[in-house]
Amino acid sequence: MNVNEIRELKGKRKITMLTAYDYQIARILEDAEIDLILVGDSLGMVFQGNPDTKKVTMAAMEYHTRAVAQGAKNSLIVSDMPIHSYDTPQEALANAQQLLQAGAHAVKIEGNQPEVITVLLKNNIPVMGHVGLLPQFAEKYKVQGKTPKQADQIWRDALNLEKIGVFSMVLECIPEWLARKITHDVKIPTIGIGAGKHCDGQVLVITEVLGLVGNQNLPKFVKRFANLDKTIRDAIIEFMDEVRTGKYPDKQHTYH
């Protein structure tokens, strides 16, 4: 996949995207032939244990992008531009170039940032847009676009991002009717997260898909497709039991 092929999928079939932050998960996603891998700044919560994405740095994004690129050498990788990495067009260009050097093929920027995105596109850096809930700027994570004024602004932002030249855009936590309207009105793919079934594709956080979430409350739109919390815990308990009883290591797992 490349950005042009992703763009051409609109209206043909649904697009799939999942997050990855390390070599192992990236390797599995590539083996499964996922359309897009997102190195999300959600690593602030998933890997760093913070309540939001606001402490994620460029150094962290570059590190995780490099690890993902090692595991998925043939996949289309999109890296989030973290908070304050695109405060000016000049900063955005320098930081986006770092992410591409680390192995990304495109970057994602939250919100309607015409000056920043224009500079990146002029320097041949593909950009994925992001409207609706913007975690880097939100005080609370809640559905956006529920009032007519909010919905109109999100719709206008989406149209403007398409006009600027993003190759696709994430629609996060907006009512289904609004996501459907935006998807209909733009000629580029929309990828939903908490935006209903009418988007051109869907994205989720990999740890939530796999059930590596402990007891935390998950958003309404998240579906667990596995329960690796239990699988991993059971394996660890079995390991401890076999070590304590002398069952492991046995002859099969010992050098002679």
Residue whose C-alpha is closest to residue 198's, from 219, 186, 184: 184
**Under 8 Å between Cβ of 37 and 29:** yes
Contact between 41 and 33 (Cβ < 8 Å): no
Following DSSP, what letter does each residue of 65-83 receive, concatenated? Answer: HHHHHHH-TTSEEEEEPPT
- 29, two tokens: 């996603």
Cα 34 to Cα 68: distance, rounded to the nearest angstrom: 13
Contact call for residues 190 and 207 (beta carbons, < 8 A): no
How far is 76 from 50, CA to CA, in rounded Å? 27
Which positions are catalytic?
172
- 3-class SS of residue 242: helix
Contact 187, 10 (CB under 8 A): yes
Contact 176, 198 (CB under 8 A): yes
Q: Alpha-carbon distance 42 to 1, whole Å?
A: 23
Who contacts 113 (Cβ-Cβ below 8 Å, separation ≥6)? 86
